[in-house]
Amino acid sequence: MTLRTDTLVRARGEMGVTLVELLVAVTLLSLALATVAVLATAVLAGFEADPAAADEQQRVRSGVNALVDDVQRAGSGFIQAPDDGPGAGLPSLLPDAVSGGPWVVRAVPHALTTVQGRRGAAHATLRTPATAGDQWLQLGRPAYCSAVSVTCGFAAGDDVMIFDAHGRFAIAAIRQVAPPLDLELTAPLAESWRAGASVSSIVAHGYGLRPDPVTGLGQLVRSLAAGPASPVIDFVTRFDIDWHAAVGVPVLRVAPDGTLEDATAGPRPPMPGVVSETAWPAGENCAYTRDAAGAPAWRGGAGPASLGAFGDGPWCPSAGAPSRWDVDLARVARVTITLGVAVASARLRPPLSVLRGAGNGSARVVPDLVVVTDLIPGRLNGGQ
Partner 1 sequence: MTNRIARTEHGFGLVSVLIWLSLLGTLALGVALATSAEAPAAGALHEKLKMTRAAESAVALAVAVLAQHPDWTSVPAGAFPSTFTDGPVGARLVGGAVVDLAAETNLRTCGRASLCDDMATSASSPARPWGVRNPRWRLLVHQPLTALDATAGVVCPCYLVAWVADDPADADGDPGHDAPPGAGGHGVLLVRGAAFGGLGALAEVEALVAQPCRRSALPCGGIRVQSWGAVSDGVP
The yes or no reply on residue 147 touching partner 1 (CB under 8 A) is: yes
Residues 73-102 that bind partner 1 (CB under 8 A): 73, 75-80, 82-83, 87-88
CB 287 within 8 A of CB 296: no
Instruction: Give 368-371 contacts, CB < 8 A, sequence gap 24+.
Output: 368/237, 368/340, 368/341, 368/342, 369/56, 369/57, 369/60, 369/340, 369/341, 369/342, 370/237, 370/238, 370/338, 370/339, 370/340, 371/60, 371/64, 371/338, 371/339, 371/340
Please state whether 308 falls in left (phi above 0), alpha (psi between -120 and 50) or beta: alpha
For partner 1, which stretch binds (CB under 8 A), given 115-123, 158-166, 276-284, 291-299?
A: 115-123
List CB contacts of 222: < 8 A, sequence separation 6 or more.
66, 205, 206, 207, 208, 229, 230, 232
Collapsed DSSP state (helix, strand, coil) of residue 32? helix
Q: How far is the CB of 303 from partner 1 (least distance, A)?
A: 25
247 contributes a contact to partner 1 by CB under 8 A: no
Q: How far apart are CA 373 and CA 349, in angstroms?
A: 23
Shortest Å, Cβ 180 to partner 1: 17
Q: Which stretch, 114-122, 156-164, 197-205, 344-352, contacts partner 1 (CB under 8 A)?
A: 114-122
Residue 187 C-beta: closest distance to partner 1, Å: 28
Comparing CB distances to partner 1, the nearer of 133 and 144 is: 144
| Residue 113 binds partner 1, judged by CB under 8 A | no
- In the complex, minimum distance from the CB of residue 332 to partner 1, in angstroms, rounded to a whole number: 15
Q: Which stretch binds partner 1 (CB under 8 A): 94-102, 136-144, 278-286, 351-359?
A: 136-144
Nearer to partner 1, 309 or 375 (CB): 375
Query: φ and ψ at 261, to 5 degrees?
Result: -105, -145
User: What is the spatial distance between Cα 71 and Cα 74, in angstroms, rounded to a whole number?
Assistant: 5
Question: Please, what is the minimum distance in Å from the beta carbon of residue 372 to partner 1?
Answer: 15
Backbone angles phi, psi at 21, to 5 degrees: -60, -40
- Residue 336 is a binding residue for partner 1 (CB under 8 A): no
Q: Which x/- pattern, by CB under 8 A, does the window 10-49 give for partner 1? A: ---x----------------------x--xx--xx-xx--
Q: What angle do CA 354, 360, 363 make, to 5 degrees?
A: 120
Among the listed residues 51, 100, 227, 322, the single contact to partner 1 using CB under 8 A: 51
Integer Cα distance of 194 and 39 in angstroms: 76
Question: 3-class DSSP state for residue 139?
Answer: strand
Q: Does 380 bind partner 1 (CB under 8 A)?
A: yes
Strands 93-94 and 182-185: unpaired
Residue 65 as a binder of partner 1 (CB under 8 A): the answer is yes
Q: Which of 352, 339, 362 is CA-nearest to residue 68?
A: 339
241/252 with CB nearer partner 1: 252
CA dihedral (90, 165, 251, 333) in degrees, to 10, reads 10
Question: Does the protein bind partner 1 through residue 116 (CB under 8 A)?
Answer: yes
Q: Which is nearer to partner 1, 41 or 192 (CB)?
A: 41
269: contact with partner 1 by CB under 8 A? no
- Minimum Å gap between C-beta 123 and partner 1 is 8
Quick one: 4 or 119, whose CB is closer to partner 1?
A: 119
Q: Helix, strand, or coil here: 354?
A: helix
Chain positions contacting partner 1, by CB under 8 A: 13, 36, 39-40, 43-44, 46-47, 50-51, 53-54, 57-58, 61, 65, 68-69, 72-73, 75-80, 82-83, 87-88, 116, 118-120, 123, 142-144, 146-148, 153, 253, 255-257, 259-262, 378-384
